[in-house]
Structure 1
Amino acid sequence: MIKVVLLGSGNVAQHLIEVMKNVSSIDLVQVFARNSNQLNHLLPSSKIVSDYQKIAAADVYIISVSDNAIAEVSGKLPFDNRLVVHTSGSSDLSVLDNKNRKGVFYPLQTFTKGKKVDFTPIPICLETENEQDYQLLKNLGNCISKKVFQINSEQRKSLHVAAVFVCNFVNHLYQIGNKICEANQIPFEVLHPLIQETAQKILELKPKEAQTGPALRNDTKTIQKHLDFLSDENYTTIYKLLTQSIQNGNKL
């Protein structure tokens, strides 16, 4: 059984608590949280501490806090030569304090508070300083997911940028589409099958092969009709930028 202490009470931390507390091969010994009220619905109070000096012994300490707070939290840990990892997609291994062995345990997924997720297909991206610690993190990752990858800090940076494009930016475009529908009294659910089919296609095709639409066809009349329709300058700018990017990408 792998003993884990988790530090944090935010979005990612709560999802990790939710999955780890229900896995028989993981002993979630304790959670450190400055605001224990955020975790009362997940754990008994006896498992939550807010004093660094009361942090229990464990095989691995997972820091799941905002990127800006990782260095501060790791620096305040009252022990040394233990395995301490963070869950950030954009922070280097070096952000962790040198007094402990360092690692990264990064679940690549979008997490929303209150919405349960199945960790089984979620990629867990790992990085450590030595092989023994990597094997420990790999075993931990395999306890909750079927997809565990060794990804170094530079690779993780590029992966995080790519994730922003395919997740956060795409979701913002959904938001724009939803506003356009609402403004014209159209249920957004009319677009659901299109969204699902588009997402499904890129599981089978390269994104470039799956691309369709007026920009790809250089259908200038349709493009101009769309631009004439859009009254929001921000939407017009985004439409033009993405149209040009699709056309430039098709030439590569």
Structure 2
Amino acid sequence: MPAASSPGPIAIIGAGAVGTTLARSLTANGQRIEAVVSRDEEEAQDLADRVGAPVAGATAAVLPPSIRFVLICVPDDAIAGVAEALSRRDHPWEKTVAAHTSGARRAAVLTPLDQRGAATMSFHPVQTFTPETPPEALEGIAVGLEGEDRAIAAGTALAEALGARPVRLTAGEKARVHCAAALASNGLVALLSVVEEVFGASEANLSQGAGTDLVAPLVEHTWANLKEGSPEEALTGPVRRGDVGTVQAHLDALDDETPHLVPFYTALSTEMVRVAVRGGHLSREQAEALLAVLRTAATASEEAAGGAR
């Protein structure tokens, strides 16, 4: 489906999961990828072949002069070095937009290109990526944009071409928004890893992955509830009910087999208390009773950990 507008020929720098997904998605949506650059020349050529890009290589020297949008899809710590290397390339930078895809780094990391006249920005798709993420995974997602007005205009067109929703951020908002996104995605992975560990310590002796399978319908229904309403409305369980006895039973069970998880449980349950109070589900007395149990457990766990050192 061709886009309504185009920033011009695009170069993808980095042939990893993010670069591959963006290149495939942009091509599927009528954008022209003219070059792929990666430190692994074979990976660059493979991706170029997949998206019909005529140019591939391992250095900035292959960047065609026709490129008008450079999309840097490399790990955060590599962005500054890539920008420096690109800035040494003789190119009509004053006619070019340069963007990186980091959620945490600001557009300012591209200063070497800004000094050459390029319009610079960060272009962060709020999505999780693997090498085989399908192009349609970008449809309907948010794309965080931060940088110069000229770059933002091109980034907005590119996001819309992907079927995504552009969201302009200030430089100061970037780390906070990225933190929230990381908690939503990677935090969920960590939480389900903890779920597996708790199941693994039970007498049920579930096989690897069986714990996640057991709670999968619960997680999916909880997510469905969240899509329909707020966290305050979706919260269920013993904390919402003010069931101190059940919370204490959870803490005792963890302390018996997986005591290192007690701080995790107390921190998460403390947040549940806050959500329940905001939702009007707990009285002040109920909230204080729950928090007292959680604080006692957290203190005991901290003291035990200190004694073990």
User: TM-score, with normalisation over the residues of structure 1?
Assistant: 0.90
Q: Distance in 2 between matches of 1:219 and 1:37?
A: 59
| 1:17 match | 23
Q: What is the aligned counterpart of 2:146 among 103, 106, 127? A: 127
1:123/1:145 contact within 8 Å kept: no
Q: What is the aligned counterpart of 2:265 among 233, 239, 248? A: 239
Can you give the 5+ residue segments of structure 2 that lack an aligned partner in the other structure?
1-5, 279-309
Q: What is the aligned counterpart of 1:214 among 238, 249, 267? A: 238
Q: What is the aligned counterpart of 2:62 among 54, 61, 64? A: 54
| Larger proportion of helix | 2
Q: CA deviation at 1:96?
A: 0.7
Matched ranges for 1:115-194 at <5 A: 115-116=133-134, 118-130=137-149, 132-183=150-201, 184-186=204-206, 187=210, 188-194=212-218
Q: CA deviation at 1:41?
A: 4.2
2:15/2:47 contact within 8 Å kept: no
2:25/2:162 contact within 8 Å kept: yes
Q: Deviations over 1:109-162 (max 9, x none)?
A: 1112334352112212223312x4332222211111242222222222221111
User: TM-score, with normalisation over the residues of structure 2?
Assistant: 0.74
Q: CA deviation at 1:190?
A: 2.3
Q: Percent identity?
A: 23
Can you give the 5+ residue segments of structure 1 that lack an aligned partner in the other structure?
none
Whichever residue aligns with residue 179 of structure 2, its letter is V
The runs of at least 4 consecutive aligned structure 1 residues that moved more than 6 Å come to none
Change (3 A) 1:146 1:63: closer
Q: What is the aligned counterpart of 1:7 among 1, 10, 13? A: 13
Quote the RMSD (CA, aligned, Å): 2.1
Structure whose CA Rg is larger: 2
| 1:103 match | 121
Q: Distance in 2 between matches of 1:245 and 1:200?
A: 20
2:104/2:175 contact within 8 Å kept: yes
